[in-house]
Amino acid sequence: MSVNHRSRLPFYCLFLSLLLVVGTAHASTDQPFGYRTVATGLEIPWEIEFGPDSLLWVSERPGILSRIDVETGVKQVLLDIRSSVFTKQEAGMLGFCIYPNFADTPWVYVAYTTGTVDSIEKVVDRFTFKDDTLIDPVRIFTLAPAGDFHQGCRLYIDDERKLWITGGDNPGSNLAVDDTWLAGKLLRLNLDGSIPDDNPVPGLPFWSKGHRNIQGFVQLPNGNIWTSEHGNVIEDEINLIVKGGNYGWPFVEGPCDLPDEIEYCDSANVIQPKWSTGDITFAPCGLRYYNHDKFPRLKHSLLQVFLKKAKLMQFTLNEAGDSIVSSHSYLSNSIGRIRDIAISADGRIFLCTSNREPNGYLPFPLDSDDRIVELEEYTDDCEMAIVIPSDTVRISAVPGFMRYFSIPITNTGECPRTLVSNYSKVDSNLAYLRGTNWRMPLVLVPGQTYHTQAEFDPAENKEYYQGIVMIFDDTSYHTIHVVGNTQAGMIASADTSITVFLPNNSPVNLPIVFKSVGELPCTIQSMSLQTATPDGFTTDSDPTGTVVPSDSVTVMMRIAFDEPGTYSCRVNLATDSYMSPSVHVIAVRSQPESVAEYTAIHKLTAFPNPFSGTTAVHIPELLLYGTVTITNQLGMVLWTGSASHTSFDVNSMNISGSATATGPLYLTVRKGTEIGTCMLLVLR
């Protein structure tokens, strides 16, 4: 395989007078692709595939399957099973596939996790498409127990009408090569879930074994099957699949190149990967074969997308389609984590991001995330330009507390540019104020603004100065002057995560508290609310103005969802120097279990007394002698008793300990089918 190494500037160049050339020059670029945004506001899309209607079908991890018009971005929900889908870590709705002869047999196979945290199952259901809806599920496959990570779960129906299911090794990673265990296998079933007679081992559903977490699967026109799978911190793999093959996990990572691995490989006839990442992980996901005339440079190639390396890679194949002869990378870090790729009948290429999952990274998620984009090609002689809005960036942090901050860059030219690296000038502040290369290189697409990351890690109270040098692929470079202040005021969230349980369809008003830290006042300029379901999370707060040290700011959020499910959003406050850390709000709307759950909830009132340090709650007569329960944000019961008086002091209930530190408390009084509730801002 050929590897393209890019040379760096001599180190002494960093100390020369720096000039950024903008605008009029034309240059050849080896980053020919940009993108246009097709749809925004998705919640962790997992699989994208063009349907027989020429629309892009999309599964989202909370439990929604939709189709999107790629010309207008209009989304139509076909299936909503959020009340049945278990979502935690990497669990949720996963892959799907459409029956090839859809016009006569309108079947769609959908994989997802269900159950509870103590009893997770991974299932594949077959749905029937009727009147723009997926109905009548039939259970085809069940893996129980299943875990909340390493799901695999790409689905594919081949020309022989066999259903392929890619697997992960959870639970039972050590059994990935054990024929009696389903985890760690590439499965092949009949369309009704039965086992084909021609599988490698009679009576068993797997085609190959020894896999860790297959999230990419493609079959070439000549029948060759390629997969990609996640390694354990190192050695992600791209494999050519052989019937009955053993791919080595957990005894082998990547190629057989260590003494213990070589011994096992020889004894177990392990098949080595055609490509691996070596001593790093890229986290490969969606994998497709491209052989269209629309993008000639991509013909007869595997197209692989990555999460951690956040890019699209092209692996050009030999004529037989059984070996990789070269590779090239595109769109590095341009749109964040990329989960899947889809190719239309006319050769257009679409990607979906996965920036709203818990293991994302700065500066994502953006307000538009998650989204679907279409690949666009640029000419080799397009005009290059870059605009960095300010030559000076100011940042604040408390000594001993490292803060990431961003430097915005806009590409105003006609072709992509690549930011190769950030370097800090060598001076006494090097250890405290620096650029970071942890998401480099960064491909800057025309018309887009990016936020490259830097770090401020002050050791003591003083002002810091640093020059951060940005180096581009055309050998131009630019210096940003950074001023770090340890005495300015800052805003920090009181809670990093808040979970709210909605027992019925009544709205909840949630106060979110931010504190002013530091030694000086700070000015709040705006609030940012990032969510894929904006109609459910709303706020009328306008928390602008100056806040003095030790003071707090409360943002009131109204949460209302009609349908059961799990919803989330992130809330930030922007000050005059930086964006506060996010507060992750999770709203869980449960499925009503009885008619009583629909009973109107009486809103109780809590009366905090700042002079006596007490909080009293008024109990109406219809709830007297009912059961009182006080819970924290996580649903943990902190106190229970009887509502024997029309008013009582919450602070006398001896509620203390770390369980109360997760945010406001909730008081509920139940008497028969009558329920009263209120939120407590207990003075403690």
Q: Catalytic amino acids?
A: 150
DSSP per residue, 568-580: EEEEEEEESS-BP
Tokens of residue 519, six digits:
């030694």
CA distance 456 to 516: 19
For the chain, give the longest Cα–Cα distance: 84
- The Cα 475–Cα 510 span in angstroms is 51
Please name the residues in contact with 180: beta carbons below 8 A apart, sequence gap of 6 or more: none
CB atoms closer than 10 angstroms to residue 331: 23
Is 390 within 8 Å of 470 (Cβ atoms)? no
In 144-184 the beta strands, taken as DSSP E runs, fall at 155-157, 162-166
How many C-beta atoms lie closer than 10 Å to residue 364's C-beta?
19
C-alpha to C-alpha distance for 189 and 517, rounded to whole angstroms: 59
Alpha-carbon span 321 to 290, nearest angstrom: 12
Q: Exposure of 122 by Cβ count < 10 A (0-12 exposed, 13-18 middle, 19+ buried)? A: buried
Give the N- to C-terminal CA distance of the chain in Å, as an integer. 64
Tell me which residue of 357, 212, 198 sits closest to 276, measured CA to CA. 212
3-state secondary structure of 284: strand
Q: Decide: helix, strand or coil at residue 95.
A: strand
Sheet strands side by side (includes 449-456)? 403-410, 449-456, 433-435
d(CA 608, CA 29): 65
**In contact, 24 and 383? CB cutoff 8 Å:** yes
What amino acid is encoded at 41 in this protein? Answer: G
3 state SS of 526: strand
Count CB-CB contacts under 10 A for residue 355. Answer: 23
Q: Residue 472 and residue 414: Cα distance in Å, rounded?
A: 16
DSSP label at residue 183: T
State how far the Cα of 401 lies from the Cα of 578, in Å rounded to an integer. Answer: 14
The per-residue b/e assignment along 405-432, b for 16 or more CB within 10 angstroms, e otherwise, is bbbebbbbbbbbbbbbbbbbbeeebeeb
Which of these, 323, 289, 326, 331, lies nearest to 306 by C-alpha position?
Answer: 331
The CB density around residue 330, as the number of other CB atoms within 10 Å, is 20
Residues 566 and 87: their CA atoms lie apart, in Å, by 8
Partners of 113 in beta bridges: 122
Rounded Cα distance between 191 and 188, Å, is: 9
* Three-state DSSP state, 11: helix
Tokens 């803060």: give the residue. 403
Whether the CA torsion 318, 322, 327, 328 is positive or negative: it is positive
